[in-house]
A and B are shown apart, each in its own frame.
Chain A
Amino acid sequence: GAVVSQHPSRVICKSGTSVKIECRSLDFQATTMFWYRQFPKQSLMLMATSNEGSKATYEQGVEKDKFLINHASLTLSTLTVTSAHPEDSSFYICSASKQGAVNYGYTFGSGTRLTVV
């Protein structure tokens, strides 16, 4: 089946530094990548949607200059949290889909737990 590899699984960084999270689709071409944020015991909140080769579309309230998303190829998308602060600590999950995702479903990465100290 379709597999999405997300790295790192856990990261601790100092306040003010930047952290990059990678998601790779291993056996299919991910036309679209979705990035979610999940706080403890809460649901997944969509942060942004990116299509290969174009700029990401951010959800209302998500700072695009803080959460930089790059989807330069059909197999790789990255989320960079710039100038991280403790309130950015959260669980981040990516989800990749082929064109016409609803017909094929969505494949999720295993998530990244970010802790900013």
Chain B
Amino acid sequence: AQTVTQSQPEMSVQEAETVTLSCTYDTSENNYYLFWYKQPPSRQMILVIRQEAYKQQNATENRFSVNFQKAAKSFSLKISDSQLGDTAMYFCAFANAGNMLTFGGGTRLMVKP
């Protein structure tokens, strides 16, 4: 079974600064996908970024980028130029070929003005 661990229950960052959220996972599979989801106070799950394990290049989406270290089974999320609207719970998630998503415990991010 896969496990996903987010070691930072809570983090805060000043507006316009950069913050990195950590995620590690455990799997014996070689082909899989990794995701970061954002859950704002509305509780709607929003996809932030995704990474295919077979791709060495780190995924980027505007202010969001990942540092994917396959050998270390690490998948951190970097948010640049943090904005107040980035305040939310962030969940790291893993999916294998069976398509089932496994979520980490989440990191609550607070962006301070």
Binding site for B on A (CB under 8 A): 32, 34, 38, 41-44, 46, 49, 91, 93, 95, 97, 100-102, 105-106, 108, 110-111
B43 → A minimal CB distance (Å):
5
A112 → B minimal CB distance (Å):
10
Cα of A111 to Cα of B35 in the assembled complex, Å: 20
The reply to whether B95 and A101 form a contact with Cβ atoms under 8 Å apart is yes
Contacts of A97 in B (CB 8 A): 99
Cα of A90 to Cα of B50 in the assembled complex, Å: 28
Whether A95 contacts B42 in the complex (CB less than 8 A), given A42-B106, A43-B106, A102-B95, comes out as no
Kindly state the interface size class of chain B when it binds its partner: 20 to 34
Cα of A36 to Cα of B107 in the assembled complex, Å: 18
Whether A102 contacts B45 in the complex (CB less than 8 A), given A42-B105, A43-B91, comes out as no
The reply to whether A102 and B103 form a contact with Cβ atoms under 8 Å apart is no
Residue of B nearest to A113 (CB): B43
Whether A44 contacts B91 in the complex (CB less than 8 A), given A102-B33, A110-B42, A110-B44, comes out as yes
Cα of A91 to Cα of B105 in the assembled complex, Å: 16
Interface flag for B101 (CB, 8 Å): yes
Contacts of A101 in B (CB 8 A): 95, 99
6 A-B residue pairs with CB within 8 Å: A41-B108, A42-B106, A43-B106, A97-B99, A100-B99, A101-B99
Contact of B47 among A100, A105, A110 (CB under 8 A): A105
